[in-house]
Amino acid sequence: MKKLITLLLLLPLILFAQQKRPINIDDLWAMKRVGAIELSPDGKTIAFTATSYSMEENKGKTKIYLVNTKGSNLRLFKETDKSISNPKFSPDGEKLAYSYNGQIWFANPDGSDAQQVTDIYSEASDFKWSPDGTKLLFVSEVYPDCPDMNCNKERDEKQKDSKVSAKILTHLMYRYWNRWLGEKRSHLFMYDINSKKYYDLNYQSNHDIPPLDLGSGNDYNFSPDGKEIAFTMNAAERVQNSTNNEIYVIELKDVKENAKIPIRKISVSKGNDNQPVYSPDGKYIAFTSMRRAGFEADKLNLMLYNRETGKIKELTNGFDRSVSEFAWSPDSRTIYFDCANEIYNSVYKIDIAAGKIAMLLKEHINDGLTISPDGKIIYFRQQRSVLPYEIFAMNNDGSDVHQLTFMNKDLLSQLEMNPVETFWSPGANGAKVQSILVKPPFFDPNKKYPLIFLIHGGPQGHWEDDFHYRWNTEMFASQGYVVVAPNPRGSTGYGQKFTDEISGDWGGKVYTDLMNAYDYAVKNFKFIDKKNTFAAGASYGGYMINWIEGHTNRFNALVSHDGVFNTVSMYGTTEELWFPEWEFKGTPWTNRALYEKWNPQRFIQNAKTPMLIFEGAHDYRVPEEQAFQLFTSLQRLGVPSKLIYFTDEYHFVVKPQDSKLWWSSVFDWFKKYHKD
């Protein structure tokens, strides 16, 4: 009788478990993607964005939601026909500003009385309020030599009406990531709400604010008294060779309409400086800074600029992690920040006076730190492999971590996903290498499962405990695969020395680290089917797949997405030249030997493993010629191969239906080479 009662009690749980299913591509695109968060001045309301995608329409739409800081009363701010984003409360909390249809709008926090504020021809984006609520900072793309908006409009119309489609190039960079740059530059504008006047703060400048790359999401700000503006800009004549973003300030008393404004540089490093944020008391500007010129993955240190003395102090000296986003406490005594830490993005705080750093939250991926007006609560986003971004809160000592929003609760309740596990294996020269392990849904330790071995890009990046919308570990595991994703040499989150040790050594220690991790997993996890292992990677991960093709027969089949195949020709077609020049210690004509040493094209004659290749037509970071060379070589050698060329994608596959083709093609490729 007791057994029967126990069985009856467990029956609902058993039935519930049976109703769950593995995640699929439609689920991935059905998730609401929580974006930017904004706290009201009274600390009672959070505004945030969430983007939903339609597979049928093949696009997404962003909306703004509001929720009380206790997690109650979730509501839609306003229904619009197009995406609405960038919610920003006015300093008095009476208005919520937002971006809509290329302009800035104001409305009451309940969505009523919506009014368009800006009407600038070149459009306004990514804005900030002044402390007194009378001005706005925003960025807009203009022709640097145009004195006014009429000139910008005339130039655009002339270009549109021209029958000539030729592009005339006289300098680098002429394109970036997925777009041709043309003659326009991103300028920082200030709008006076009362006078309705626009001020171009880098009037007739050829430099972009914020910089094209290596900036942050917080690269311009008003001082607390509203008398000064700090911003990030790269003033190098040849930005394709320079990582030297710098911090500058402008005094508002010098701002005039249609006039060049004096600027003053406050940063001193030859490396990348960005993210200038004033302390609430106005005494300091904190910013992040790299020491080494030309290295985009150097350690980001947290710096403190004293506005009275002009002296700069490094706050994170001796802390071997790279600072990402940060936020001041209201009393200006503490800075909270997040940074890559092993497979996590952890939260820390630093006492400004004592210089003491303390970890508040280690696990999962945490960002978007926002501090309550009384300084007691930290609001932030968190994600992990089984949970897309949601809004969380915790006390300023790291206690009482709790979830406030549940945007995908119903969908997630239907899915069977296993959280990440990790293991460590020996790497080259005695290093320890951490790998993520994800087991398939409904895992049975007595069964054998095929393996998908994932290699991350960067190369200075890392696999982390996140819910990724492209390389999602749960999706890879969903069709009955064990997933192993190592963080070899070059990965971030393990100290700067570990990160540095891939530069100039692309196929060296990192290859040993990876193959050792693979061998360790196959040997030690008895549930992995040794006869059926597959590997995939993108960007640098694609490079390593191409390297693997010429160096080992460990895998049944490979997937190379937007990967470097010919290091020499890559130099002549990519855009940011500081990257190959740092990684290969010069140009192909000054250090040809190193380019050739780590060139996968030199070893392609050894190729035997079937390979699926993906490439985007608008990928200007690793351009299409790399995929064409690789595919041509494999076909000429008679190696089973397939190239899927997306005519409307770039370095990433971002459209729902293209993504569906991507995932189905990967699984079909692996299935084709599965051995019974």
Query: How many CB atoms lie under 10 A from the CB of residue 21?
Result: 13
Domains of the chain: 26-117 (2.20.25), 315-415 (2.120.10.30), 416-672 (3.40.50.1820)
Cα radius of gyration rounded to whole Å, the chain: 26
- Residue 560 carries which side chain, given as an amino acid letter? S
Report the pLDDT value the prediction gives residue 32, as an integer from 0 to 100: 98
Sequence-ordered alpha helix ranges (H) in 330-432 = 409-412
Task: Please name the helix (run of DSSP H) or strand (run of DSSP E) that holds residue 400, with its range, or none.
Answer: none
- Contact 562/644 with Cβ under 8 angstroms? no
Report the pLDDT value the prediction gives residue 207, as an integer from 0 to 100: 97
Q: What's the rounded mean pLDDT across residues 522-530?
A: 98
Q: What's the rounded mean pLDDT across residues 73-94?
A: 97
Candidates 528, 517, 462; CA nearest to 490 is 462
Backbone phi and psi for residue 168, each to the nearest 5 degrees, phi listed first:
-105, 115
Residues 6+ apart with CB under 8 A from 178: 616, 618, 619, 620, 650, 651
Is the pLDDT at 7 greater than 70? The verdict is no
- Contact 59/36 with Cβ under 8 angstroms? no
Q: What's the rounded mean pLDDT across residues 200-206?
A: 95
Q: What angle do CA 213, 217, 222 make, to 5 degrees?
A: 115
DSSP letter at 241?
Answer: G
pLDDT band at 511 (very low <50, low <70, confident <90, very high): very high
Report the pLDDT value the prediction gives residue 18, as an integer from 0 to 100: 57
Note if the bond before 459 is cis, omega within 30 degrees.
yes
Is the pLDDT at 15 greater than 80? The verdict is no
Is the pLDDT at 4 greater than 60? The verdict is no
Share of the chain above pLDDT 70, in %: 97
- Residue 349 carries which side chain, given as an amino acid letter? K
Q: What's the rounded mean pLDDT across residues 239-268?
A: 96
pTM: 0.95
Question: Strand runs (DSSP E) across 193-265, as ranges?
Answer: 197-200, 220-222, 228-233, 246-251, 264-265
Alpha-carbon distance of 555 to 673, in angstroms, equals 10
Sequence-ordered alpha helix ranges (H) in 278-418 = 409-412
pLDDT band at 295 (very low <50, low <70, confident <90, very high): very high
The 3-class SS string of 378-399 reads EEEEEEECCEEEEEEEEECCCC
Report the pLDDT value the prediction gives residue 6, as an integer from 0 to 100: 46
Alpha-carbon distance of 170 to 174, in angstroms, equals 8
Report the pLDDT value the prediction gives residue 260, as an integer from 0 to 100: 94
Is the pLDDT at 5 greater than 90? The verdict is no
Query: How many CB atoms lie under 10 A from the CB of residue 627?
Result: 24
Alpha-carbon distance of 77 to 85, in angstroms, equals 11
Interval 333-378: pLDDT, tens: 999 999 999 999 999 999 999 999 999 999 999 999 999 999 999 9
Torsion of CA 168, 169, 170, 175, to 10 degrees: 150
* 75-76 and 449-455 beta bridge pairing: unpaired
Q: What's the rounded mean pLDDT across residues 230-242?
A: 96
Report the pLDDT value the prediction gives residue 3, as an integer from 0 to 100: 52
Report the pLDDT value the prediction gives residue 11, as an integer from 0 to 100: 47
Please count the residues of the chain. Answer: 676
Residues facing residue 312 across a β-bridge? 305
Interval 161-176: pLDDT, tens: 999 999 999 999 999 9
In three-state secondary structure terms, 180 is strand
Is the pLDDT at 10 greater than 60? The verdict is no
Backbone phi and psi for residue 271, each to the nearest 5 degrees, phi listed first:
-95, -160
* 482-487 and 449-455 beta bridge pairing: parallel
Interval 536-569: pLDDT, tens: 999 999 999 999 999 999 999 999 999 999 999 9
- Residue 63 carries which side chain, given as an amino acid letter? K
For the chain, helix, strand, coil in percent to 5 are 20, 35, 45
Residues facing residue 136 across a β-bridge? 129, 191
Interval 94-121: pLDDT, tens: 999 999 999 999 999 999 999 999 999 9
Report the pLDDT value the prediction gives residue 521, as an integer from 0 to 100: 98
* CA 516 vs CA 421, 429, 461, 519: distances in Å: 18, 12, 19, 5
Candidates 589, 276, 598, 288; CA nearest to 459 is 598
Interval 459-498: pLDDT, tens: 999 999 999 999 999 999 999 999 999 999 999 999 999 9
- Residue 615 carries which side chain, given as an amino acid letter? E
Share of the chain above pLDDT 90, in %: 97
- Average confidence score pLDDT of the chain: 96
Is the pLDDT at 257 greater than 50? The verdict is yes
